[in-house]
Structures are given as structure tokens and as C-alpha cells.
Amino acid sequence: MQLGALLLGLGGSGALLPALAALVQNWLTRRCSGSVRLKIGEDEIVLTGAGDEVQQRALEEFLRRHGQ
């Protein structure tokens, strides 16, 4: 079920991206279900409540690609 989409203008630097990703991960962990898709241009990652090591490494790489 898609509840909606949230678009955020992060400005030119994207400095808020790591904080947003941490907030989303925390929310998903407490919720125990669902997923959130973070997309910048054509690059995207889907976060789930699983919070496993593979997902964490993928998120770190996603943030690195976008200057974080």
C-alpha cells in the first residue's frame, strides 16, 4: 500500500540527507513493516524495517555517491 510521497528540497549541498536517512531508518524500525524509497535523480535505495548489515552498507554507499 502506498501512503503517499514526500518530496524534500535539500538545497544544493544535500547536508540533511544523512539525518533524513537516519530518521527514516528509526521510524521503519519502530514500525516493523513497510518501506521508504529515497531517490536522487536516477539513483535510488529502498529502506525497510529490517535494518540489516547489507542494507546499512547499501545506504552508506548511496550517501557516499551523493557527497555525504
The per-residue b/e assignment along 21-58, b for 16 or more CB within 10 angstroms, e otherwise, is: beebbeebeeeeeeebebeeeeeebebebeeeeebeee
Task: Find the domain containing 60 and state its range.
Answer: 17-65
| Domain annotation covers residue 40 | yes
DSSP strand pairing (43-48 vs 35-40): antiparallel
- d(C-alpha 17, C-alpha 57), whole Å: 16
Global pTM value? 0.65
In a domain, 53, yes or no: yes
The total number of structural domains that make up the chain: 1
pLDDT digits 0-9 by tens, 15-54: 677 887 888 888 888 876 788 888 888 888 888 877 678 8
Is residue 52 situated within a structural domain? yes
Is 50 exceeded by the pLDDT of residue 60?
A: yes
Domain membership of residue 49 (yes or no) is: yes
| HSE-CB of 24 using CA atoms within 13 angstroms | 19
User: Residue 3 domain-assigned?
Assistant: no
Report if residue 39 sits inside a domain: yes
Q: Tell me whether residue 11 is in a domain.
A: no
